[in-house]
Amino acid sequence: MTFLKRSVWTLYWKGIVAKLSLDSRVALQLSPGPCRYFDEPVDVKVTGLPPEQYVEVRSKLIDSRNVSFKALATFCSDKNGHIDLARCPSLGGSYSGIEAMGLFTSMRPLVPHSRLTKRDVSTPLSVDIEVTCNGLVVAKDTVQRRFLGDGVQKVPLEGGSIRGSLFLPPGPGPFPAILDMPHLGGALTELRASLLANKGYVVMALAYHGYQDLPKVLDKLDLEYFEEAVTFLRAHPKVKGTGIGILSISKSGDLAFAISAFLPGVAAIVSINGCNANTQFSLHYKDMVIPPTKMDLKNVTVTADGLLDVRDVVLDPMMEENQASVIPIERANCHFMFVASEDDRNWNSVLFSEQAAQRLRDYGKENFEVVRYPKAGHFLDVPYMPHCPSSFHPAVGRVVVMGGEPKAHAEAQVDLWKRVQEFFQEAFKQ
């Protein structure tokens, strides 16, 4: 009898699915079109469903490392048979509640602890979206998430010492310029650079290790390398002569501070979850050597999931034994934005940002702003990038937690991207 009931129930659902599949009114709508820039939202709607019909909406992509990322959410259609992700709450799945871009930001890798990677920004990232009822697909479509705008040129940096890519907006210029530097282990990352070039900036995506003929393993860094990059960027015929901006994250934050302190021509710096002192490797410039901050591996803890938490390994830069590592940012003649995530588990970026701001105050300077994001994690990226709560740490050699609650982290990324652009626009007016 139980088997019979189950068979009848299965046939019932198959009948509904067959009707939905054959009904030409059922449609998945992606607007304003099937091709959007990665930092722009996508409106996802389903129409033509029976009223109060439960369905799953799924998303999937494959990144440059051939890692699949997926998300799903359950919805119930309204009395008109419509589902609008900007208005209808997810009833369960990868996220719950109303999140218009939840199918994108809540994606999780099938290979644990992977961060979404896109190496070639000249091609879009395809995201497949499908609507399923009782496990069978009733509607599907694909949205292309573009990075490179029409007319934007990507020029590889060849010759000389520096490695990376230069992104040039269409037109004669001159344009304001930004030096974009990745986190440790990032090799060459071009997502932010390409998206900023779409908005009228000349942007250099600079690698400083692990790319082409650059060292794969670091034991020191030379500021002369970054000096060459700054000089090259400032001298480019498409670049305005008002000084460049620097966009940095994590380890590259202290590198950006050092550039502003010891080199001319920097107008503005954004440091996302960076440190106010030199970290991990000694930094050399001419006859000067800045040692890395002291670390204490006894401060490593292990989470309930067996992952390492290294937040307190880098010791307080204001400790006496770390004073030689602190970057003298009071020497800089630029504007600063210190961004700190309050749930950053990579290190104590809130403390570092507060100390950087206080150092400038102590020298009578107010050329800065501090932005903090509660419940956000370490890797604050471009809008709608999937949250990365844990990742392999190249300096640790193990997987570590990066922190952040998915929804708060996603909201922080959208807000920060807007703030970064406004900050650079204002700085370049000076």
* Residue 344 among the catalytic residues: yes
- Going by the DSSP 8-state scheme, the letter that residue 182 receives in this structure is -
Tokens of 57: 């909406």
Q: Which of 209, 236, 335, 378 is catalytic?
A: 378
350 Cβ neighbours under 8 A, 6+ residues apart:
340, 341, 342, 344, 372
Instruction: Give CA angle at 248 (243, 252), nearest 5°.
Output: 115
143 Cβ neighbours under 8 A, 6+ residues apart:
30, 34, 35, 36, 42, 126, 127, 129
Identify which of 70, 68, 81 has the alpha carbon closest to the alpha carbon of residue 130.
70
The two counts, helices (H) then strands (E), for the chain are: 7, 24
Tokens of 95: 């996220």
* Residue 24 among the catalytic residues: no
**β-bridge mates for residue 144, sequence order:** 35, 126
Q: Which of 250, 252, 325, 353 is catalytic?
A: 250
Rounded to 5 degrees, φ, ψ at 274 are: -100, 180
Q: In this structure, what is the dihedral angle of CA atoms 393, 180, 62, 35, given to the nearest 10 degrees?
A: 160
Tokens of 84: 């609008």
Please name the helix (run of DSSP H) or strand (run of DSSP E) that holds residue 125, with its range, or none: strand 125-133
Reduced to 3 DSSP states, what percent helix, strand and coil does the chain have, rounded to the nearest 5? 25, 30, 45
Q: Which of 39, 309, 343, 344 is catalytic?
A: 344
* Residue 122 among the catalytic residues: no
**Which SS3 state, helix, strand or coil, does residue 358 take?**
helix
B/e letters for 280-310, b = 16+ CB within 10 Å, e = fewer, are bbebebeeeebebbebeeeebeeeeeebbbb
Residue keyed to tokens 């909201």: 411
| Active-site residue list | 250, 344, 378
